Amino acid sequence: MGSTAENSAKLRAKLATLDADELEQLVRKHNALYWDEHAPEIDDPTFDKLVEALRKARPTSQVLEQLGEQKAAASPFGDVVHERPMLSLDKCYDDDALLKWATAIKGGFFMTPKIDGVACSVRYDAKGALAQAATRGDGKVGDDITANVRGIADVPKKLTGVRAALEVRGEVYLRRSRFDAVYKGDKANPRNLAAGALKTKDPKESAAYGLSFFAYDLLDGDAPGGGPKTEADKMVRLGKLGFPVLPFRHFDDKAALAEGFRAMVEECKQLDTETDGVVVKADSVAEQDRLGITAHHPRGAIAYKFQGESAQSTVRDIEWGVARSGALTPVAIIEPIFISGVTVTRVSLHNAGYAKKLGIGPGATVEVVRRGGVIPHVERVLTKPDRSLSQPKKWPVVGGFTGVHLDGDFLFLDEPERSREVVVGRVKHFADVIDAKGFGDKVLTQLFDAGMVRWPADLYRLDVNALAALERMGEKSAQNLVAVIEGKRKLTLPVLLEALGLERVGATAADKLASTFHTLPAVRTASVEQLADIDGIGPEIADAVVRGLKESRALVDALLEEVTIVAPELPSDTSHPLFGKSVVFTGALAHMDRKSAQQRVQAVGGKTPSGVSAELDYLVIGDEGSPLLGGGERSSKHKSADKLVAKGAKLAIITETDFLKMLG
C-alpha cells in the first residue's frame, strides 16, 4: 500500500470515471478505515470529495446516512448510550449553499472554527464529579473512554457551582505544535493519532500522548434560568465551568455570514490545532429545537468546509501511475504551494486525454485550484512547458515491459495481468468484497513478488508452509491467512459478481443481476439486451457486464473450482406480512435510518429494490414532513407510485407508522 498522499492522488485521478456503485463501495471502505480502524488510506479532503461525488451521482444513497463511526459489535470498551444523539453535521462548500441553508433560520447565527478532532461526550453527576466519557460511536451508542479522558488536562475532573447532572460535548485533539515536535514523520496526522490514543487500553499510555480538549456544546437544563438560551450563553457558561472554548462570532443577519466565514478562516490559522472549516449554527437553542434533526444531522447547524483558493506553481515533472483497470493516470509534480491551509505538491491530471488538452508538461506555469477546498485541480496552463507531455510507450511488468494503447482519452496497458500494481489492486478488491481480512496491499505485494498470487483464484491455493517461509510472515500469520480464505469458500452470487471487479458493477448492480437471473450460468449467457431491460442496469452497464464476463471467463472458471455459490439464508417465518414482499422507502424516516429499515425488511424475507415499478408491493413514506400527514410535497418516487396506482398497479402507499406496525 502506498502513502496516504499517493493513495489520495490515485483515487482523485479516477474519481470522475467511477459510477455510483463504485463510489458507494469506496465511501464505505474509507469511512470504516477512518472512523473504525483509525488507519486511513486517503486524506480527509479526498474523502470529502469522494462523498460529494456520491452525493451527486446518487443523492438518495443510504451510504450517505451511514457516515461516521459504525459501532463495532466486539469493541473492547463498554457501550454508552447517548441520551441525545451525537449527530454529524451537514456540509456546504460555497456561499450560495450556506445562504440557502440560512433561509430556514429565524434569528441570529453563531459561528466557530471546525476542529479536526474526535467528538467526545463527558458527563458529570449532580455533585460535579466526572462520571462518564464516551466517543460519538454511531451517534446512538459510543465507547466508554472515561479512564482515558480523565488523563486529559483540559477536561475538569470536578465542577463547582453545579446543582444537577450535566453533559459537555467537545473535540479531543492533539495540538499541532506537539504533533510536529513529537510525532511528525512517524504518524499520519494529529486527528488519527488522537483517535488512536483515546482507544488505548492503558490510561497511562493514553495520557502520555498529551491530548487536548475544546468544548462546543452544553446539555444543562438545571442551570440558572433553565439552562443557556443561546450558543453564546453556552460558551460563557462552559468557560466559567473551566473548559477551554473556541473563538466564536455572532451575526444578526445572514447577509453577514459569508464575510464572517472569511474572517473566521483567518482566526483558524492562529489556532494550535488542525481545522477543516467553520461551524455555523442557529444561535437560539429554541430555534434549533424548532428545526429538529434528520437521521444523521441537525437542521440548525452546518459545516462550511474551507473555500477553494487558487495559486500559481511550476510543474517539475509528470508521473504516471496505473489503476487496477490497467489505465495509466498522469499526476503533475509541482513546486509546493499553500492553498486553503494545505501544502500541495501533487495534482491529478485525471487521464491522458485531459492532460494532452491542457498542453501541460515539465516547466509549465499552472494555476491550481482546490475546488471546494478539497481536490487540487489544474485550472489552466499559464505558460508553455519546457518540453511537452511525454506519454509512456511501454510499462515495466514482470519479465520486462508491456506496450500501451489509447482507448478514447485513456491510456491502457496491453498486458495488465503482468503488472504488479494491477494484479495487487484486483486481488485486493476481490478480498475486500468477500471480506477476507488480512489481505492488504503489503501482504498481496509480497505474495505477488513471491510468485504465489497472480489472480484471485490463487488465494484459495495458498499453503501454510510456503507462506510461513516468507520474510516477516511467520507460521501464526500464515495459518491465520489460510484460515481466513478457507472460511470464504462459500459465496453468494451477488458477492461473487461484485468481487470479480467488472467495470460498473458494484453491490447494487450485482444484486440486481443475481435477483433477476438467480444462477451464474444464466448471468454469463445473458445478452446485452436482456441485461439492459433490468431496472437500473441500462445499456452501458449491460455492455460492460457482457464484455467483462467474457474477458473474465478463465478467472470465473478457476474460481468455480475453489468456491461454491450458495443462496443467501432466508427467514424461516414465511407467514410474516412482509415475507416475499418488495418495499421501497422515500422521504425522511422519523424512527430509524433508511439502511436500518431496509435491513429490517430483508431480515423477515422481504426485498428492497432501489426504484418504484409496477411489481412493487409497498412504498413507505417517511413520517418526517410526510405529505400523507399534512407535510411537504410528494417525492418523485411518490408521484411515480401514484401514477402506477391510477393505472391499476397492486402497490400500496403507506406511512412509516403503518410500516412499523407490519414489522411488529
Q: What is the spatial distance between Cα 147 and Cα 119, in angstroms, rounded to a whole number?
A: 16
Tens digits of per-residue pLDDT, 641-659? 888 888 888 899 999 989 9
DSSP H or E run through 48:
helix 44-57
Quickly count: other Cβ atoms within 10 Å of residue 342's Cβ: 17
Are 343 and 409 in the same domain?
A: yes
The alpha carbon of residue 469 and the mean position of all alpha carbons in its chain are separated, in whole angstroms, by: 37
pLDDT in the model for residue 306? 63
Q: What is the spatial distance between Cα 517 and Cα 549, in angstroms, rounded to a whole number?
A: 15
pLDDT in the model for residue 653? 92
Q: Quick check: 372 pLDDT over 60?
A: no
Are 545 and 615 in the same domain?
A: no
Catalytic residue among 14, 114, 488, 607: 114
HEC assignment per residue over 163-188: CCCEEEEEEEECCHHHHHHHHECCEC
pLDDT in the model for residue 72? 44
Are 277 and 345 in the same domain?
A: no
Tens digits of per-residue pLDDT, 413-463? 999 989 999 999 999 999 988 888 889 889 999 999 999 999 999 999 999
Cβ(327)–Cβ(306) under 8 Å?
no
Tens digits of per-residue pLDDT, 294-310? 767 899 999 987 654 56
pLDDT in the model for residue 565? 92
Percent of the chain with pLDDT over 90: 31
Are 285 and 358 in the same domain?
A: no
Give the domain-ending residue among 273, 288, 305. 305
Give the domain-ending residue among 566, 599, 625. 566
Give the β-pairing of 375-383 and 652-655: unpaired
Backbone angles phi, psi at 281, to 5 degrees: -130, 160
Are 102 and 226 in the same domain?
A: yes
CATH number at residue 291: 3.30.470.30
CATH number at residue 508: 1.10.150.20
pLDDT in the model for residue 222? 59
Tens digits of per-residue pLDDT, 126-181? 889 999 999 988 788 888 999 999 999 899 999 988 888 999 999 999 888 887 77
pLDDT in the model for residue 148? 92
DSSP 8-state class, residue 512: H
Q: Quick check: 503 pLDDT over 50?
A: yes
The reply to whether 577 falls in a domain is no
Are 42 and 118 in the same domain?
A: no
CATH number at residue 602: 3.40.50.10190
Domain count, the chain: 6
Are 182 and 95 in the same domain?
A: yes
CA 569-571-575 angle, 5° bins: 155
pLDDT in the model for residue 375? 60
* pLDDT top residue among 270 and 216: 216
The reply to whether 192 falls in a domain is yes
The reply to whether 538 falls in a domain is yes
Task: Quickly list DSSP for 538-556.
Answer: HHHHHHHHHHHHHHTHHHH
Tell me, what amino acid is at 376?
A: P
Q: Quick check: 75 pLDDT over 50?
A: no
pLDDT in the model for residue 373? 42
Residue 431 lies in domain: 419-488
Tell me the mean pLDDT in the region 38-64: 79
pLDDT in the model for residue 484? 92
Q: Quick check: 73 pLDDT over 70?
A: no
Are 409 and 452 in the same domain?
A: no
Are 345 and 436 in the same domain?
A: no
pLDDT in the model for residue 283? 93
Cβ(317)–Cβ(106) under 8 Å?
no
* pLDDT top residue among 106 and 13: 106
Q: Quick check: 564 pLDDT over 50?
A: yes
Are 363 and 436 in the same domain?
A: no
Evaluate if pTM is beyond 0.75: no
The reply to whether 324 falls in a domain is yes
Percent of the chain with pLDDT over 70: 90
Tens digits of per-residue pLDDT, 580-635? 888 998 887 888 777 678 878 877 888 887 678 888 899 999 887 777 776 667 77
Q: What is the CA radius of gyration of the chain?
A: 27
Give the domain-ending residue among 249, 274, 305. 305
* pLDDT top residue among 614 and 398: 398
- For residue 340, name the pLDDT band (cuts at 50, 70, 90): low
User: Which residues have a Cβ under 8 Å from the Cβ of 561 and sit 6 or more positions away?
Assistant: 457
Known catalytic membership, residue 114: yes
